[in-house]
């Protein structure tokens, strides 16, 4: 789904470049013009996608889900690039040959003459017509009659650049920035394990009840001692009490010590401790459930305790997950440094470890991606102000998606941060052609330049983002909270990018630099220079010179 946004962007841009070529040119020249117009930018954006996700697929990423996702993205980007560069281009060549020889683009048969079509029903005329029956020759630029192109040129461009519309766009952006900033202030890595479960799973009901009524208690933590230990030693007993302090313990050790104290039995050596444990303590009905918590081994006539387990429950506040992660961070180093060798585990720790790393690693990838964008834009300078506007636009879209995502109750988990990395590339993919066309335009005013940019790239951007958003609809029918999170993030990505490309940038670019006055001065100077040049036409007779 994520690759669909970049792949269809290349298809629509190349198709738009093909339609902008003149139909009276040979099809080879049309293909060459379309590729020269589109593929340089598309190659750069594909390289950016590949490098960004390549860092996520590298050994530096220690989250397997992120690594697999980024590996699939890299393979998809390569296959898509070669598809655009080879197969789709071949389809354009084939379509150009059919069009030049007046063959039908679908049925590949010769298009009948106008006289023949006039004698046929309307449906037949509609199916078999190539759109040029009313004129004796093909128009040089039929793309101007495309309904999206016509709408942008005749209606939308005039409306969005109207002086009375601009104040409302500024107010809209201030509202957008306010909500984004408010959402960014509420960011937290409070990832919910429920998001990993299917929405109709019974585990969801259990987790919701547990969070609602028993959220002040941590999961039951298994405390596993995996080597022989001198439990009868007072120093070992003190170490165990210190490790279990702060927890509500379900422990055979504590119960056994209490049993010895109540029964007034002394077990200060190994043989007495194990003998009383096996012959008396574990045979009482109220303590028989501890048998599965102690592993005995027999070497000759001597019994040994080679492993045992306890259960711990921590009392936590409302932010249970964060506190449990802190407990893990404290207990795990102690398991390596203390004299008692132990392991702490609960099945939910797998997800907590996953979420504990889900923010740091992808954020580093996103940071490297931003740094890479800066390096590429400053080394491959098309226009300094164009690079500056691109960075501002991408930052605005990224912060907007991040803030609105938080306000929409999307947790900051691995999926949402991967979507933020994708947002970076998606925004560059759509804003860069529009901005660079604007800054390099030579029209007299900024308004004319932004109109020209929208006419050239607006159709491809609108088609791609619309296709991308329509492609998200099936995600709504997948019974998974994780998929719904993906839908929310990608919907915000497409919506914020569309808002910037068609509303915010067309208005703000008419207020701020780059100025177009120097283009006007250059045009006047060239016109004056042409007027002063004396053109001399040399006829076949060298003595005959005509001054024009």
300-327 pLDDT, tens digit per residue, is 778 888 999 988 887 666 555 566 666 6
pLDDT of the residue at 319: 54
For residue 355, count CB atoms less than 10 angstroms from its CB and return exposed for 0-12, middle for 13-18, buried for 19 or more: buried
Q: Classify domain 2-101+146-186+359-524 at the CATH topology level.
A: Multidrug efflux transporter AcrB transmembrane fold (1.20.1640)
Mean predicted lDDT score pLDDT of the chain: 78
Six-digit token pair at 362? 């992808």
Using one digit for the tens of pLDDT, what is the confidence trace for 244-288?
A: 877 788 888 889 988 988 888 888 888 888 888 988 899 888 888
Handedness of CA 97, 99, 101, 103 (dihedral sign): positive
Q: What span, in angstroms and rounded, lies between the C-alpha atoms of 408 and 201? A: 23
DSSP 3-state of 200: coil
Higher-pLDDT residue of 183 and 521 is 183
Instruction: Band the pLDDT of 353: cuts 50, 70, 90.
Output: low
Domain boundaries, the chain: 2-101+146-186+359-524, 202-347
536 pLDDT exceeds 60? Answer: no
CA nearest neighbour of 186 among 399, 396, 403, 366: 403
Residue 151, both tokens:
């709408």
Tokens 């010769």 — which residue? 110
Mean pLDDT of 89-118: 80
**Percent share of the chain, pLDDT over 90:** 11
pLDDT higher for 356 or 264? 264
From 133, 12, 13, 49, select the one nearest 424 (Cα to Cα).
Answer: 49
Residue 532 is predicted with a pLDDT of 47
Has residue 419 got a pLDDT over 90? no
Report for 126-135, 225-234, 369-378: range of highest mean pLDDT: 225-234
pLDDT in tens, 186-223: 876 555 667 666 777 777 777 778 777 777 777 788 88
Q: What is the dihedral of CA 245, 246, 248, 254, to 10 degrees?
A: 10
Nearest to 176 by CA among 8, 401, 465: 401
For residues 90 and 83, give the distance between their C-alpha atoms in angstroms, rounded to a whole number.
Answer: 10
Residue 232 CA: distances (Å) to CA of 272, 283, 307, 334, 465 = 9, 20, 15, 21, 71
The pLDDT value given to residue 181: 93
Token pair 């313990």 in the structure block, residue: 249
User: What's the token pair of residue 237?
Assistant: 């007993």
Q: Which has the higher per-residue pLDDT, 521 or 385?
A: 385
Q: What is the b/e burial string over 421-448, where b = at least 16 CB atoms within 10 angstroms of the residue's CB?
A: bbbbbbbbbbbbbbbbbbbebebebbbb
Checking if the pLDDT of 375 tops 80, the result is no
**Cα end-to-end span (Å), the chain:** 63
pLDDT at residue 134, as a whole number: 46
* Coil, strand or helix at 419: helix
Partners of 223 in the beta sheet? 310, 344
Q: Which residue has the higher pLDDT, 176 or 328?
A: 176
Whole-number Cα distances in Å, 158 to 452, 504, 511: 12, 15, 16
Q: How many CB atoms are closer than 10 A to CB 407?
A: 13
Q: Measured between alpha carbons, how far is 172 from 178 in angstroms, rounded to an integer?
A: 10
Task: Find the helix or strand (DSSP H, E) in which 313 lies.
Answer: strand 302-314
- Which helix (H) or strand (E) covers residue 387, if one does? helix 384-407
Q: What is the pLDDT of residue 4?
A: 65
Least confident of 2-6, 285-289, 418-422, 530-534: 530-534
The answer to whether 369 and 418 have CB atoms below 8 angstroms apart is no
> Three-class SS string for 241-286?
HHHHCCEEEECHHHHHHHHHHHHCCCCCCHHHHHHHHHHHHCCCHH
Mean pLDDT over 456-463 rounds to 88
More confidently predicted of 32 and 524: 32
The answer to whether 460 and 468 have CB atoms below 8 angstroms apart is no
Q: Where are the alpha helices (DSSP H) in 157-269?
A: 157-160, 166-184, 202-213, 234-244, 252-263
Asked if 407 contacts 182 with a C-beta cutoff of 8 angstroms, the reply is: yes
What confidence category does residue 541 fall into, taking pLDDT thresholds of 50, 70 and 90?
very low
Q: What is the per-residue pLDDT for 492?
A: 95
Strand partners, 222: 311, 345
Helices (H), 21-121: 27-56, 64-82, 89-100, 114-118
237 vs 300: CA distance, rounded Å: 27
């Amino acid at each position: 789904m994520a690759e669909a946004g970049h792949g269809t962007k290349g298809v629509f841009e190349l198709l738009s470049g093909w339609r902008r070529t003149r139909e009276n040119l040979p099809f080879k020249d049309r293909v060459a013009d379309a590729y020269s117009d589109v593929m340089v930018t598309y190659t750069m954006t594909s390289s950016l996608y590949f490098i960004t996700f390549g860092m996520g697929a590298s050994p530096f990423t220690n989250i397997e889900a992120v690594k697999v996702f980024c590996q699939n993205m890299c393979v998809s980007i390569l296959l898509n690039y070669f598809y655009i560069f080879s197969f789709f281009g071949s389809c354009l060549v084939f379509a150009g040959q059919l069009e030049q020889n007046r063959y039908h683009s679908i049925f590949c048969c010769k298009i009948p003459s106008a006289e023949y079509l006039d004698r046929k029903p309307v449906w037949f005329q509609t199916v078999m017509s190539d759109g040029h029956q009313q004129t004796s020759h093909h128009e040089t630029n039929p793309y101007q009659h495309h309904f999206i192109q016509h709408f942008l040129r005749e209606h939308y461009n005039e409306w969005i650049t109207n002086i009375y519309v601009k104040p409302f766009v500024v107010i809209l952006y201030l509202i957008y920035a306010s909500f984004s900033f408010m959402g960014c202030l509420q960011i937290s890595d409070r990832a919910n394990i429920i998001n990993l479960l299917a929405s109709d799973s019974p585990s969801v009901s259990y987790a919701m009840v547990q969070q609602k009524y028993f959220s002040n208690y941590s999961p039951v933590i298994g405390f596993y001692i995996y080597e022989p230990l001198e439990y009868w030693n007072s120093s070992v007993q003190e170490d165990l009490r210190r490790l279990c302090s702060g927890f509500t313990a379900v422990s055979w050790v504590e119960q056994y010590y209490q049993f010895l104290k109540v029964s007034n039995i002394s077990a200060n050596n190994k043989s007495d401790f194990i003998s009383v444990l096996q012959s008396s303590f574990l045979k009482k009905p109220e303590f028989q459930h501890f048998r599965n918590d102690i592993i005995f081994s027999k070497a000759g006539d001597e019994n040994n305790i080679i492993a045992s387990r306890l259960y711990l429950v921590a009392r936590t506040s409302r932010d249970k997950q964060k506190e449990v992660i802190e407990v893990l961070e404290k207990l795990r180093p102690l398991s390596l440094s203390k004299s008692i060798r132990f392991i702490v585990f609960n099945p939910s720790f797998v997800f907590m470890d996953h979420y504990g790393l889900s923010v740091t690693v992808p954020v580093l990838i996103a940071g490297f991606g931003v740094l890479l964008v800066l390096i590429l834009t400053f080394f491959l300078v098309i226009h300094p102000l164009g690079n500056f506007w691109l960075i501002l636009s991408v930052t605005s879209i990224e912060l907007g998606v991040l803030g609105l995502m938080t306000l929409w109750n999307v947790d900051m988990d691995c999926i949402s941060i991967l979507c933020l990395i994708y947002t970076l590339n998606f925004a560059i993919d759509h804003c860069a052609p529009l901005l660079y066309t604007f800054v390099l335009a030579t029209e007299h005013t900024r308004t004319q330049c932004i109109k020209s940019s929208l006419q050239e790239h607006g159709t491809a951007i609108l088609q791609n983002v619309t296709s991308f958003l329509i492609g998200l609809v099936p995600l709504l029918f997948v019974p998974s909270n994780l998929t719904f999170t993906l839908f929310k993030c990608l919907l915000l990505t497409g919506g914020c990018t569309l808002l910037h490309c068609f509303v915010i940038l067309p208005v703000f670019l008419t207020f701020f630099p780059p100025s177009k006055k120097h283009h006007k001065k250059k045009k006047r100077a060239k016109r004056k220079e042409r007027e002063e040049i004396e053109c001399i036409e040399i006829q076949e007779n060298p003595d005959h010179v005509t001054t024009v």
